[in-house]
Amino acid sequence: MNKKCYLISILLLIGALYPRSMEFNSCKTYVKVEKNLEKGEEFGLLAMDKEPENSYIPYYIGRFIYRPQKRIEEAGRMFLKSLELEDSRLEKPFRIGSGKNQIFIKTVHDAISLYGTDWFNYGVEAEQKGENIKAIEYLEMASVFDPGLKGQCYSTIALIYYNLENIDMSFKYIDEAINTTSEPNEVIEFKLMKIMFLRNQKNIAGAFDIYNTLNQDQLTLSQKYNLFLLYMDNDDCYNALLFGEKLFLNLEQDISTPMNLLSEFAFNLAACFNHNADVKYNEIIEYMGDVENHSKEFTNQYIKQCDEIKELYSSAKDYYRLSLDYDENSNPMTKELKRKMRKNIRKIDDTIIPTLLEI
């Protein structure tokens, strides 16, 4: 018996065990024996009309006709159609994994769930190519194929919408992602993404509200960096430094911390010290120009404040240097800012303090 006749015999045997319409049997013959996917599609669609409640037929068309032709959208729609119908047994069950971890796949719905990761990847690839609408469609499909991927799918869709400046839809999907998952690590990931959205929208109070719902003990050091950024966004350099300096030391000791993160963190710490110094420096300049309110008491206070300002500028200089040490190609302004801190310290010694002593 030649190979072609053998295949036909197998198909007839399967047909006897799983009664199918003539159209569907013809579809399978064209696909498996004749290798004619065009005719297979024709008879497969006729079979769907003949057996509209049979979930195996759209699954078969999606898997054996559309996927080999890389007709991803059409294959996905066929899988969705199968999932809308009552589950049915596969003609040829199969297993995945091995040993104790092996799982037998016996039904159409279980088989389709295995394609969730593929469609998620198709979505990511489409987004990287700038095909955002297609990406969203693939990710929506993936979330239906494998409900366990809903959180990742929805968060990715949220990011796509955010990059498209569709703020309402981005918040809708990130909230869906947060509410869908029960995995602690995913909850943290998605809430941090929402915090990023809120920060960029200047809704700092809302971002703090989300951050305060997180269990601090479950956050990585890198994730805690987000709280430092929130303090900075809130123009609260006092708490940013109070929290940030200790966190920076811990991140330095963690060998897994990326160098570019340390560079960025050091730059931001320097900016906070710089800001605090500038505030106090400007107070002195304002006092020096306010001749009517000069007094020996105030003058002595501001002379003492000069030492504080120099320490702040010195700390800023040191952190700008650290930023360069960790990444020479980081912020192009860093070298100039480091030089400026030295100049500011000299200016206080050479000009500000002598002027105050003369008041």
In a domain, 274, yes or no: yes
**Do residues 219 and 280 share a domain?**
no
Please say if the pLDDT value at position 283 is more than 70.
yes
In a domain, 73, yes or no: yes
In a domain, 92, yes or no: no
**Do residues 52 and 28 share a domain?**
yes
**Do residues 70 and 9 share a domain?**
yes
**Do residues 354 and 268 share a domain?**
yes
What's the pLDDT score for residue 278? 97
**Do residues 220 and 268 share a domain?**
no
**Do residues 16 and 63 share a domain?**
yes
Confidence of residue 292 (pLDDT cuts 50, 70, 90): confident
Secondary structure (H, E, C), the chain:
CCHHHHHHHHHHHHHHHCCCCHHHHHHHHHHHHHCCHHHHHHHHHHHHHHCCCCCHHHHHHHHHHHHHHCCHHHHHHHHHHHHHCCCCEEEEEEEECCHHHCEEEEEHHHHHHCCHHHHHHHHHHHHHCCCHHHHHHHHHHHHHHCHHHHHHHHHHHHHHHHHCCCHHHHHHHHHHHHHHCCCHHHHHHHHHHHHHHHHHCCCHHHHHHHHCCCCHHHCCHHHHHHHHHHHHHCCCHHHHHHHHHHHHHHHHHCCCCCHHHHHHHHHHHHHHHHHHHHHHHHHHHHHHHCHHHCCHHHHHHHHHHHHHHHHHHHHHHHHHHHHHHHCCCCCCCHHHHHHHHHHHHHHHHHHHHHHHHHC
Mean pLDDT of 176-200: 95
* Distance between first and last Cα of the chain: 113
**Do residues 286 and 223 share a domain?**
no
In a domain, 97, yes or no: no
In one letter, which amino acid is 150?
K
Mean pLDDT of 277-301: 93
In tens, the pLDDT along 109-146 reads: 999 999 999 999 999 999 999 999 999 999 999 999 99
Percent of the residues in the chain that have a pLDDT greater than 90, as a whole number: 86
Mean pLDDT of 209-235: 94
What's the pLDDT score for residue 331? 77
Please say if the pLDDT value at position 46 is more than 60.
yes
Q: How many independent structural domains does the chain possess?
A: 3
Handedness of CA 328, 330, 332, 337 (dihedral sign): negative
Token reading at 357: 């002593």
**Do residues 318 and 241 share a domain?**
no
Please say if the pLDDT value at position 13 is more than 80.
no
**Do residues 226 and 304 share a domain?**
no
How high does pLDDT run on average in the chain? 93
Instruction: Spell out the residues 6+ positions from residue 32 whose beta carbon is closer than 8 angstroms to its own.
Output: 7, 11, 64
**Picking from 151-165, 227-241, 318-332, which range would have the lowest pLDDT averaged per residue?**
318-332
What's the pLDDT score for residue 29? 95
In a domain, 243, yes or no: yes
Q: Which of 22, 51, 85 is the last residue in one of the domains?
A: 85
Integer-rounded Cα radius of gyration of the chain: 32
Residue ranges making up the domain that contains 229: 182-248
What's the pLDDT score for residue 2? 54
In a domain, 120, yes or no: no
CATH code at 57?
A: 1.25.40.10
Mean pLDDT of 70-92: 96
Q: Which of 52, 85, 118 is the last residue in one of the domains?
A: 85
Please say if the pLDDT value at position 200 is more than 80.
yes
Q: Which of 85, 100, 127 is the last residue in one of the domains?
A: 85
**Do residues 2 and 77 share a domain?**
yes
Instruction: Spell out the residues 6+ positions from residue 209 whose beta carbon is closer than 8 angstroms to its own.
Output: none
What's the pLDDT score for residue 8? 47
**Picking from 80-84, 197-201, 214-218, 328-332, which range would have the lowest pLDDT averaged per residue?**
328-332
Q: Is the pTM for the entire model greater than 0.85?
A: no
> What are the two backbone dihedrals, phi and then psi, of residue 86, each rounded to the nearest 5 degrees?
-65, 140
Mean pLDDT of 331-338: 90
**Do residues 344 and 277 share a domain?**
yes
Confidence of residue 35 (pLDDT cuts 50, 70, 90): very high
In a domain, 95, yes or no: no
Percent of the residues in the chain that have a pLDDT greater than 70, as a whole number: 94
What's the pLDDT score for residue 329? 80
What's the pLDDT score for residue 7? 47
What's the pLDDT score for residue 100? 79
**Do residues 266 and 290 share a domain?**
yes
Contact by Cβ (8 Å): 283, 347: no
In a domain, 169, yes or no: no
What's the pLDDT score for residue 16? 45
Give the Å distances, CA to CA, from 315 to 75, 95, 125, 202, 340: 60, 62, 45, 28, 13
Please say if the pLDDT value at position 15 is more than 60.
no
